[in-house]
Amino acid sequence: MGSDQSASVEPTGMHRLVKDIQSVEEALGDGIKQVYASEKSAREKLRRVRSEAVLEV
């Protein structure tokens, strides 16, 4: 046994490792914050409430 045997990966293990890394990269996203279409109505509603609350103070 060589000293690097514990770090070696079989072809099927390497395939799974690559797929898992790609999955993590996809889950992390591109780092750019954006408002999705499904969030826009809630965003507008909360903005109105916030601006009205500021006017009352």
* pLDDT tens-digit series, residues 5-50: 777 889 999 999 999 999 999 999 998 988 889 999 888 888 865 5
| Both structure tokens of 18 | 């690559």
Calpha distance 12→18 (Å, rounded): 10
pLDDT confidence of residue 1: 56
Calpha distance 43→41 (Å, rounded): 5
Domain ranges of the chain: 32-57
Calpha distance 47→35 (Å, rounded): 14
Q: Which backbone phi and psi does 13 adopt, to 5 degrees?
A: -70, -35
pLDDT confidence of residue 19: 97
Distances (CA, A) of 25 to 22, 51, 57: 5, 38, 45
Top pLDDT among 52 and 26 is at 26
pLDDT confidence of residue 49: 57
pLDDT confidence of residue 48: 64
